């Protein structure tokens, strides 16, 4: 089997119906949803499988829902003896990665993600903010663009996610995000697309949320990682419990260095990536970052079996 890394998606990958086929097809996946419903005290499985979409898009539900589906897919892969050499997750997906590495129990993972989602939603309500994807500019150009946007009126934006060589997400005050598309086009961007989110995630506007989550992280037991977790904040592998805790503490209000994270895994010998969870956004990003990488996605029974067959035979999708 090739050197495989699992990567776990973040907010924005959700869709009504996600995880239902996994739960029907694999008892270990169904067990994850049963655990989530019990730990969280409400039927998260129903929100995932039936919606309504408006509820699923609320951050307090979106984040644990995505993590639950990702963990269900991971458990189904694990049951078929598909195991990675390292893991990473995009934004809230980092919690799925940490659980897959054995640092957190499934129960503590789901509980922390629920706290994270509630805290981030509250921060978004107390100080309205947004995010926008800038396409066609290098990250250094987007950093300069942020300075131009900030000088043009009230509010500020900053770089939040470096997703691929030509896609960088900015985040900040709503007024600044709203004037970003026109200024971005003037700076040479191909497009600047406002994102349907409820706050300025991965920016300084999330410092209150980070503080709330910090207390919960301190109360939660962390274990040594069985395999390295490539953390969003430093784009480098961490294994010690204190390192993982600090990475999760910092990432709510810090930049997601996704390009560097993928490059770090490739530099350490990873040749194949499996996106474990809903959607295919990470697979698309990885293909832009490393064209030689083999990439799979696992979000239902069909894609899981395709990935298992491909990994065992060495054939890419």
Is 91 in the active site?
yes
* Catalytic residue status for 202: yes
Active-site entry in 202, 203, 254, 261: 202
Q: Are the CB atoms for 99 and 220 separated by under 8 Å?
A: no
| Residues 299, 73 contacting (CB under 8 angstroms) | yes
Per-position b or e across 2-29, b if 16+ CB within 10 A of its CB: eebbbbbbbbbbbebebbbbbbeebebb
From the list 13, 91, 254, 261, the catalytic residue is 91
The long-range contacts involving 279-286, CB below 8 angstroms and separated by at least 24 positions, are: 279/9, 279/12, 279/13, 279/14, 279/15, 281/9, 281/12, 281/13, 281/90, 282/7, 282/8, 282/9, 282/90, 282/93, 284/164, 285/163, 285/164, 285/167, 285/258, 286/7, 286/262
Q: Are 213 and 197 in contact (CB under 8 A)?
A: no
Instruction: Specify which residues 273 forms β-bridges with.
Output: 5, 295
Q: Which residues are catalytic?
A: 91, 202
């Amino acid at each position: 089997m090739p050197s495989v890394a699992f990567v776990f998606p973040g907010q924005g990958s959700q869709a009504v119906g996600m995880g239902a086929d996994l739960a029907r097809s694999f008892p270990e996946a169904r067990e994850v949803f049963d655990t989530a419903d019990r730990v969280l005290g409400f039927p998260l499985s129903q929100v995932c499988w039936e919606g309504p979409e408006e509820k699923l898009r609320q951050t307090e539900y979106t984040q644990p829902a995505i993590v639950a589906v990702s963990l269900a897919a991971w458990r189904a892969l694990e049951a078929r003896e598909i195991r990675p050499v390292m893991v990473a997750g995009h934004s809230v997906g980092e919690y799925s990665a940490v659980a897959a590495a054995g640092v957190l129990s499934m129960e503590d993972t789901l509980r922390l993600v629920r706290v994270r989602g509630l805290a981030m939603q509250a921060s978004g309500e107390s100080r309205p903010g947004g995010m926008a994807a800038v396409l066609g500019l290098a990250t250094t150009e987007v950093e300069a663009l942020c300075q131009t946007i900030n000088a043009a009126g009230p509010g500020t934006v900053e770089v939040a996610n470096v997703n691929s060589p030509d896609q960088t997400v900015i985040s900040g005050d709503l007024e600044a995000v709203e004037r970003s598309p026109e200024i971005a086009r003037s700076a040479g961007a191909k497009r600047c697309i406002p994102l349907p989110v409820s706050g300025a995630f991965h920016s300084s506007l999330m410092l209150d949320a980070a503080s709330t989550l910090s207390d919960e992280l301190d109360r939660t037991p962390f274990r040594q990682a069985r395999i390295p977790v490539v953390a969003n904040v430093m784009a480098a592998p961490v294994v010690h419990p204190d390192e993982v805790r600090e990475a999760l503490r910092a990432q709510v209000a810090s930049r997601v260095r996704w390009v560097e994270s993928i490059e770090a895994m490739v530099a350490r010998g990873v040749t194949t990536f499996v996106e474990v969870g809903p959607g295919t956004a990470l697979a698309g990003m990885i293909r832009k970052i490393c064209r030689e990488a083999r990439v799979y996605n696992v979000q239902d029974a069909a894609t899981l079996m395709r990935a298992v067959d491909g990994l065992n035979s060495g054939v890419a999708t």
